Structure 1
Amino acid sequence: MTPLYDVAVVGYGPTGLAAASLLGRLGHRVVVCERWPGLYGLPRLTHIDDETARTVQAAGDVDEALHDSSRCQYVWVNGKGEILVNIPANPEGPMGYPDHISMYQPDVESAIDKRLRAYGTVDVRQGWAVTGLDQDDDAVTLRLRGWNADAVCADGPSDEVRARHVIAADGSRSGIRELLGVQRQDLGFNELWLNIDTEWLRPQPPEFARGTQYCDPARGHMTINIGHTRQRFEFAVLPGETREEMAAPETAWRLLRQYHDLGPDDVRITRRLVYGFEARIATRWRTGRVFLAGDAAHTMPPYLGQGACSGIRDATNLAWKLHHVLGGLSPDALLDTYESERRPHVTALTHAAIGLGKVANTHDAEAAAARDAAFLAGKVPPPPPFPPLRDGVLRQGTDAPVGTLTPQGRIRLPDGRSGRLDDLTGYGFTLVAAEDPTAALGPERLARLERLGCAVVALDTVADLDGRHGEYLRQLGAVAYLARPDFVLFGVAADSTDLGALVDDLDAALSGTPAGVAV
């Protein structure tokens, strides 16, 4: 009989890795199906933000993952080298990490892979392609074939796995999406760029220790550091140029010499590929027990640095909701909030990335001159802040900034242990209160919080080492706040008499029972 897993994850890139690790950490039986026989081993993404780093912390050894990383300043310049936009490198954002991080993707993937294999509940099946699926009332059956990496086809032995739910994180060309017959909306951005990844053969020059987007109408191009020892270069493919000629080794060296005066004595090329930058969003993200995530659900141009970050947000959103449904703590309807929460957020970021992409891909000289004049005169407003979640598992009817992100500082517990908040509280809901809420909540509500896997942190009994959580409470004008496992603010308690109602509202939101009804 085919064993029944709780969740099957298809695809073993950043989204699939994060989802599998978080679910494995929560004790679920997970099977990963990945057609390639090993981790990719080369960087596709080069940037994550502090929110994503916090998820890496939950899914793997974050210090190992980011050991060759650096905070990343990002500058946009025109064809004359004049600065249009300067995005500074904040050394530490509210999550406890730099808000822009230049990192080496293989380090991140290896750290998460190492962690999830240690759980003993995650079965990683590399070298297997999913060729079909069937759903019934209880589970999904995935049909597998061994993947022939040399012939780039599935012609090996057959097998199947069965799982109660499936997360399809198998990339922009998602085979699962095709099997489900899900279409994608094209938002009208399509550009080709040549990607060249390199390793420095000498110390990295200071001018390369940042990201620079050259908005040159003659040929847009960019460079960004990958930690301290590696560098990415990208060049727009112009009309009349073919993929084949742009992917040739001599083209890469010609462009590196022409634009950066670099040659084989300076860098070693490790990867060379022509990419298609696109913006597409799947028309639906859930089909029965199957969920699309990451590039399978949405793709965006890279100019905001949020493609992989958005996929990892999908993983964190889905993981805790699947945990609650699989554990009988919440009804299946909770899973519908995955798309209703994530789609508006990623759509807003995609449109912002498209806007930046149009700046970077302005090839008309007159239009570029007008663009430059507007930027240099300060007439271009800064990009809007990231949108909060508006609907879903949030406490409604308050003025609190629900749906925004909560901070992570360092704390010291009464037993002397100290470290980052999440490392000490675990992966789950967290109630942070100015004072011990035991008396205000009472034993019944405390038992409910324990049943929901919610940690309780009282700032009068722990040391708030950098003052971040106390300051956040003061900004909220609250005595307590309740954070979701994906770091989103569920709600706040304005005073001690509101603490019980806050817990009741969380229980109601997760159980599907109206607040005030016993469960």
Structure 2
Amino acid sequence: MAPHYDIAVVGYGPTGLAAASLLGRLGHRVVVCERWPALYGLPRLTHIDDETARTVQAAGDADDALRDSSPCEYLWVNGKGETLVRIPANPDGPMGYPDHISMYQPDVEHAIDKRLRGYGTVDVRQGWAVTGLDQDDDGVTLRLCGWNAETSCADGPRDEVLARYVIAADGSRSGVRDLLGVGREDLGFNEQWVNIDTEWLRPQPPEFAYGTQYCDPARGHMTINIGTTRQRFEFALLPDESREEMTAPETAWRLLRDYHDLGPDDVRITRQLVYGFEARIATRWRTGRVFLAGDAAHTMPPYLGQGACSGLRDATNLAWKLHLVLGGLAPEDLLDTYESERRPHVTALTHMAIGLGKVANTHDVEAAAARDAAFFAGKVPPPPPFPPLAGGVLRPDGDAPVGTLTPQGRVRLADGRTGRFDDLTGYGFTLVTTEDPTTALGPDRLARLTRLGCTMVALDTVDDLDGRHHEYLQRLGAVAYLARPDFVLFGAAADGADLGALVDDLDDALSGTAKAVV
């Protein structure tokens, strides 16, 4: 009989790693199916934001994961090097991390991999490709085949695993998505750029210690630091340039010399390939018991730095909802709110990334001059803020900005332990108050929160070292706020009398009284 798991995760990139680790942390039996025999070991992504860093913190050792990282400033310049937009680096964002982080992806993946292997509930099966699936009312059977890395085909031994649910995080060319017959909507952005990753052979020059997007109509190109010892360079392919030509080593050295005056004495090339920048969203993210996540569900151009961040948001959204359903604490309908919450959010970010991509890929000289003039005259509005979640598991009505993100500061507990808020309070729902909540809530509500694994933090019993949580409640005009495990504000209580109603509203939302809004 095939081994039985709570969740099977297909794909072991950032999204799959985070999903497997969070679910393993919650005590579930998880199997990971990944065709490649080892972690990729090279950086595909180079940027995360503070929200994503907080997810990394929940899934692994954040200090280990980000040991070669730095706050990242971004410049957008025209073909003459004149600044169009400057996005400064904020070293201390509201989540307790820099709001833009240049990082080395293998460090992040190794830190999460190390953490999840220690739970004892996660079975990582690397070197196995998913070649088929069947599902019924009880679960999903995945048919596996050993993957031959040398021939890039599934021609090894056969096996099967059975899971109650499946998260397909197997990339933009998702085999699971194909098995399900799910199509993708093409949002009309398709560009090809060559990626050249390097390691510095000398101290990183200061002009490379941040990201620069060159919006040059002759050839768009960019560079970004990968932590402090590595550098990425990217160049748009011109109409007469082939993939084969642009992946030749001599082409890389020519581009590095012509655009940045760099040669073999300055850097060592570690990776060179052509990427297709696209914007596509799967037509549905759930098929029965199988959920698409990360690039399997959506891809976007890299100009906003939100592709991998969006995949990590998928993982955090799915993990806690699957946990409640698997534990009998919420009906299965709760899982429908995954797509209804995540699709509008990622679609909005994709359109923002497309807009930035059009700025970076303006090839007409006159159009580029008009673009520059608009920026210099201050006629280009700043990009809109990231949208909040709308509908789904959020408190209805009320004045609090539900669906936005809650902060994380440093705190000191009564026993003297000091650290990041999440590390000391755990992973799950969190009720933060300025007073002891036991009297206002009563035994029944307290018992409901305990069953949900909710941590209650009365700020008068801890030292809020950064003042971040007190300040947040003051901005809300509230005495308490209730955060979901994915750091999203469920709702806030205006006073002690409203605190009980806040918990009741959470119970209603999880039991299906509050319906998702698409």
Normalising TM by the smaller chain, what interval? Answer: over 0.9
CA distance in 2, matches of 1:297, 1:446: 38
Counterpart for residue 482 of structure 1: 482
Counterpart for residue 271 of structure 1: 271
1:315 is displaced (CA, Å) by: 0.1
What do residues 425-464 of structure 1 show as CA deviations (whole Å, max 9, x unaligned)?
A: 1110000001111111111111111001100000111111
Q: How do 1:41-440 and structure 2 match up within 5 A?
A: 41-440=41-440
Q: How do 1:28-39 and structure 2 match up within 5 A?
A: 28-39=28-39
* Pairing 1:22–2:22 present: yes
Question: Match of 1:328, as an amino acid?
Answer: G
Question: Match of 2:27, as an amino acid?
Answer: G
Question: Match of 2:95, as an amino acid?
Answer: M
Question: Match of 1:255, as an amino acid?
Answer: L
CA distance in 2, matches of 1:243, 1:8: 36
1:511 is displaced (CA, Å) by: 1.9
1:512 is displaced (CA, Å) by: 2.2
Q: Secondary structure of 2:118's match?
A: helix
Which deviates further from its counterpart, 444-453 or 379-388? 444-453
CA distance in 1, matches of 2:28, 2:39: 22
Q: Secondary structure of 1:147's match?
A: strand
What do residues 344-400 of structure 1 show as CA deviations (whole Å, max 9, x unaligned)?
A: 000000000000000000111000000000001110000000000011000001121
CA distance in 2, matches of 1:444, 1:176: 43
CA distance in 2, matches of 1:159, 1:305: 38
Q: Would you say how many aligned residue pairs link Structure 1 and Structure 2?
A: 515
CA distance in 2, matches of 1:268, 1:15: 29
Verify the 8 A CA contact 2:301 2:350 in the aligned structure 1: yes
Verify the 8 A CA contact 2:392 2:514 in the aligned structure 1: no
Question: Match of 2:69, as an amino acid?
Answer: S
1:514 is displaced (CA, Å) by: 7.3
CA distance in 2, matches of 1:183, 1:322: 24
CA distance in 2, matches of 1:101, 1:399: 32
1:513 is displaced (CA, Å) by: 4.9
What do residues 281-302 of structure 1 show as CA deviations (whole Å, max 9, x unaligned)?
A: 0000000000000000000000
CA distance in 2, matches of 1:507, 1:409: 27
CA distance in 2, matches of 1:513, 1:376: 51
Which deviates further from its counterpart, 437-446 or 207-216? 437-446
CA distance in 2, matches of 1:481, 1:272: 48
1:2 is displaced (CA, Å) by: 1.4
When the two structures are superposed, what TM-score results if normalisation uses the length of structure 1? 0.99
RMSD, aligned α-carbons? 0.8
Q: Secondary structure of 1:500's match?
A: helix
Question: Match of 1:503, as an amino acid?
Answer: V
1:271 is displaced (CA, Å) by: 0.2
CA distance in 2, matches of 1:241, 1:419: 52
Counterpart for residue 504 of structure 1: 504
Q: Secondary structure of 2:440's match?
A: helix
Q: Secondary structure of 2:258's match?
A: helix
CA distance in 2, matches of 1:33, 1:401: 39
1:508 is displaced (CA, Å) by: 1.2
Q: Secondary structure of 2:157's match?
A: strand
Question: Match of 1:28, as an amino acid?
Answer: H
Q: Secondary structure of 1:280's match?
A: strand
Question: Match of 1:377, as an amino acid?
Answer: A
Counterpart for residue 8 of structure 2: 8
* Pairing 1:456–2:443 present: no
CA distance in 1, matches of 2:410, 2:504: 28
Verify the 8 A CA contact 2:71 2:101 in the aligned structure 1: yes
CA distance in 2, matches of 1:425, 1:140: 34
Unaligned runs of 5+ in 2: none
CA distance in 1, matches of 2:315, 2:445: 29
Verify the 8 A CA contact 2:198 2:232 in the aligned structure 1: yes
Question: Match of 1:495, as an amino acid?
Answer: D
Question: Match of 2:332, as an amino acid?
Answer: D
Q: Secondary structure of 1:207's match?
A: helix
CA distance in 2, matches of 1:232, 1:514: 46
Alpha-carbon spacing, 1:393–1:514, altered in 2? closer, same or farther (3 Å)? closer
Give the % identical residues.
86
1:65 is displaced (CA, Å) by: 0.2
CA distance in 2, matches of 1:43, 1:471: 37
CA distance in 2, matches of 1:303, 1:241: 22
CA distance in 2, matches of 1:3, 1:255: 52
Alpha-carbon spacing, 1:343–1:514, altered in 2? closer, same or farther (3 Å)? closer
CA distance in 2, matches of 1:4, 1:279: 36
Q: Secondary structure of 1:470's match?
A: helix
Question: Match of 2:318, as an amino acid?
Answer: L
1:238 is displaced (CA, Å) by: 0.7
CA distance in 1, matches of 2:374, 2:513: 53
Unaligned runs of 5+ in 1: none
Question: Match of 1:111, as an amino acid?
Answer: A
Q: Secondary structure of 2:391's match?
A: coil
Q: Secondary structure of 1:460's match?
A: helix
Verify the 8 A CA contact 2:393 2:514 in the aligned structure 1: no
Alpha-carbon spacing, 1:513–1:364, altered in 2? closer, same or farther (3 Å)? closer
Q: Secondary structure of 2:402's match?
A: coil
What do residues 243-263 of structure 1 show as CA deviations (whole Å, max 9, x unaligned)?
A: 010111000000000000000
1:56 is displaced (CA, Å) by: 0.1
Question: Match of 1:358, as an amino acid?
Answer: K
Verify the 8 A CA contact 2:403 2:488 in the aligned structure 1: yes
CA distance in 1, matches of 2:280, 2:329: 34
Alpha-carbon spacing, 1:235–1:467, altered in 2? closer, same or farther (3 Å)? same
CA distance in 1, matches of 2:379, 2:251: 38
What do residues 479-512 of structure 1 show as CA deviations (whole Å, max 9, x unaligned)?
A: 0000000000000000000000000111111122
